[in-house]
Amino acid sequence: MEDLKKEEKYKELSIDGHLTTNEHDLPFETAGELIMKNQAEFHPLKFLQGIIEVLEDLNVTIYEHTRAKSADGNTLTTVNNHSIDFEYLIIATHFPFLDIENFYFNSFKISYGYGLVAETSTPIPEHLSMSGHDGAGLSIRNVVKPDSALPVLLFGGLGHGSYEENDMAMQLSKLEHYAGQKTANKDTLYAYRAQDLMTADSLPFIGHFISRISTILSHQVSINMV
């Protein structure tokens, strides 16, 4: 509870939030609840479908199953050595594929996270996205699955750095144990491990791509090492 009280940034950012206890009548005990109001949730595939419709109206050509490997001037080259001419290039991949000398790749922190989707006989209030502050860092979210007779929940947690060697099956078993302490779960429908890449300051790379960045940074590193 004391750690939750220390969270003040949302007030500085004028986010509609407050600290309380058991406001949502959750089926498990909580020391406190830091609630952020008016959050939004969107379906990524439906979002992309809307973008595609806009692009089609603008007569933009869409290439599916096409992987780019390089760009020179106003020409993009694919892994199959096909060329695509463009006027403007926007890179919206996880990190820029124009990765000069592995600069971007080596700037990421790599971590693993675990998740499982389970049917439960313990209903959770709808439209909630909960992130736990316990040892497992357990998060709980509702899953829309119309063909399930029981409510379906997504449990995530037990994240760790890639340098830590943890057995995947053992981690998922632990996660199932933590989830069982919160709700009375029935069948586990899916289980997975995800690999996440985060920048050193947790902020995304954004802005104009400068091809000289590698040369500039190499020069700076050389000066610092002397």
Cβ atoms of 75 and 85 within 8 Å: the answer is yes
Beta bridge mates, 139: 131, 156
- In this prediction, residue 108 carries a pLDDT of 84
Under 8 Å between Cβ of 153 and 186: no
User: How far apart are alpha carbons 134 and 136 in whole angstroms?
Assistant: 6
Contacts of 170 (CB under 8 A, 6+ apart): none
Confidence band for 211, pLDDT divided at 50, 70 and 90 = low
Is pLDDT above 60 for 204?
yes
Total-model pTM: 0.73
Rounded to the nearest 5°, which phi and psi values hold at 203?
-105, 145
The alpha carbon of 189 is separated from its chain's Cα centroid by a whole number of angstroms, namely 21
215 pLDDT above the threshold of 60: no
Residue type at 172 in one-letter notation: L
pLDDT of residue 125: 82
Q: Which helix (H) or strand (E) holds 44?
A: helix 44-57
Which range, 40-49, 97-106, 111-120, 199-208, is most confident? 111-120
- How far from chain centre, in Å, is Cα 33? 22
Q: Is the pLDDT of residue 56 over 50?
A: yes
* CB neighbours of residue 12 within 10 Å: 7
State the burial class of residue 179 (Cβ atoms within 10 Å of its Cβ: 0-12, 13-18, 19+): buried
Q: Out of 96-110, 135-149, 200-214, give the one with best mean pLDDT.
A: 135-149
| Tokens 């049917």, located at residue | 119
